[in-house]
Structure 1
Amino acid sequence: MKLMKQERHVFEYAVIRLVPRVEREEFLNIGVVLYCAKHKFLEMRYHVEIEKWYMMDKQVEVDEVIAHLKSFKEICMGGQAGGTIGRLDRPDRFRWLTATRSTILQTSKVHLGLCEDPEATLSQLFEQLVL
């Protein structure tokens, strides 16, 4: 009896970055957002480490950054809590989240890969790129 190998599907992800001073272009990886169309999956994870944030810039508005991260999370989940953007379909929400910005929260360029399990892939990327 042959074991069937699970099918791999295309996923896209971007790293969420804290950029306290945009003009200096210094950043700290604080999260990952991952989208996989085949699995209807759009989720993000983030990690708050205030001491590191303050090492970059003592003026970081921690509450404001956390509020923005929570908004990102709500947009990923979709629905009314995510506001107007949260009511868009998953691909449009992902594109909005990963659009180029010049604010304190930015995302990297979108990267592609193949995965069998997007949840496990998100966990792996989060651990490798953020923690």
Structure 2
Amino acid sequence: MKKHAVSYAIIRFQPHVETEEFANVGIVLVAPRLGYLDFRIETKRLARLTKFFDSMDARMVRGVLRSYNTELTRIRDLAGHKGDGQGRFEFELRDNAEHLFHALTKDREGMIRFSDVRFAMTDSPTTKLQDLFDYYVRRNFAGAVYREGLLEKHVRGLLKMRDLGQNFKPMSFSDGLYSAKFPFVEVVGEKPLKVLKPIFLGQDEPTRILDHGNKWLFTIQRLKDRLPPDVVMAVEGPTDNGKPRQAFRQAVKLFQDHKIRVIDVQNEDELIKVAEGTPTGRAPAPLLV
């Protein structure tokens, strides 16, 4: 397929000019030869922003981004392939998209700023735009593997802080053909007694949530004769409601139906109870809300 040159800039939320701190909130992209101009901006998953800029009211943050989303929609429509609004310009449609892009991304004062313009080649500007948004805003550059690495670091730090780190170590289990490594296995003497596995089930797409949950369910079922009897999944789920949350609930229920304990990885009290061997029940209610 034919490759097209595209230019793009990262949309940044920078409420405090004095500190120069910012967060990536979107992407705007133009393919000049196609007259294509489009954008993606985050208007729903704002917990990261409100936690980072904790002095700002969450409603204000949401209002700023939604207003800018409306403005970007208006600008995109001016550069649309149908030619709506073109009568007010003296340049061609292709020039219109590129002109609007460069006017939009000029450095200016305000809470919304742009990165330097960057360039790429692609056979699908729409796909490239979504990929860039997933990478720079949703930070899906390594998917569940990356997020689970962060969760493991969180659990490791908590165990160490509570002087429980020496009780757990990474360990691999195998049935001769299939093997898997678990980051936290409680070992007494030389006998493994418990598996604690952080798992990320907060992907944007329901299919990816269920696929990842089923992958680890298969692993545990395949190796159940080699694993200790107490297997605990410490999970992180989606921040938003909707279909991803429904898929998350189903994944949790599948674990529970197979006698696998499920806890919230962000619930430090629950994690410590598990590490210390205190009974915790099968799953905390907040997981399934």
Give 5+ residue unaligned stretches, structure 1: 1-5
Q: Judge conservation of contact 2:27–2:132 (CA < 8 Å) in 1.
A: yes
Aligned counterpart, 1:107: 114
Distance, in Å, in 2 between the alignment partners of 1:119 and 1:101 is 27
Distance, in Å, in 1 between the alignment partners of 2:18 and 2:50 is 17
Aligned counterpart, 1:3: none
Give secondary structure in 1 for the equivalent of 2:33: coil
Distance, in Å, in 1 between the alignment partners of 2:47 and 2:69 is 17
Give secondary structure in 2 for the equivalent of 1:92: helix
Give secondary structure in 2 for the equivalent of 1:17: strand
Number of equivalenced pairs: 120
- The structural deviation recorded for 1:40 is 1.6
- The structural deviation recorded for 1:16 is 0.2
Distance, in Å, in 2 between the alignment partners of 1:78 and 1:115 is 23
Corresponding letter in the other structure for 1:90: A
Aligned counterpart, 1:13: 8
Deviations 1:16-66, CA, capped at 9 Å, x for gaps: 000011111111100000000122210000112332222232325221332
Aligned counterpart, 1:42: 37
Distance, in Å, in 2 between the alignment partners of 1:103 and 1:55 is 20
Distance, in Å, in 2 between the alignment partners of 1:130 and 1:71 is 19
Is 1:59 equivalent to 2:66 in the alignment? no
Normalized against structure 2, the TM-score is what?
0.39
- The structural deviation recorded for 1:14 is 0.2
Is 1:94 equivalent to 2:91 in the alignment? no
Amino-acid identity (%): 26
Corresponding letter in the other structure for 2:113: Q
Give secondary structure in 2 for the equivalent of 1:38: helix
Distance, in Å, in 2 between the alignment partners of 1:15 and 1:74 is 18
Corresponding letter in the other structure for 2:74: E
Higher mean C-alpha deviation, range 28-37 or range 55-64: 55-64
Distance, in Å, in 1 between the alignment partners of 2:113 and 2:69 is 11
Is 1:122 equivalent to 2:129 in the alignment? yes
Question: Structure 1 residue aligned with 2:25, among 27, 30, 45?
Answer: 30
- The structural deviation recorded for 1:91 is 1.4
- The structural deviation recorded for 1:9 is 1.4
Larger radius of gyration: 2
Give secondary structure in 1 for the equivalent of 2:29: strand
Normalized against structure 1, the TM-score is what?
0.82
Give 5+ residue unaligned stretches, structure 2: 80-84, 90-95, 139-289
Distance, in Å, in 2 between the alignment partners of 1:114 and 1:15 is 17
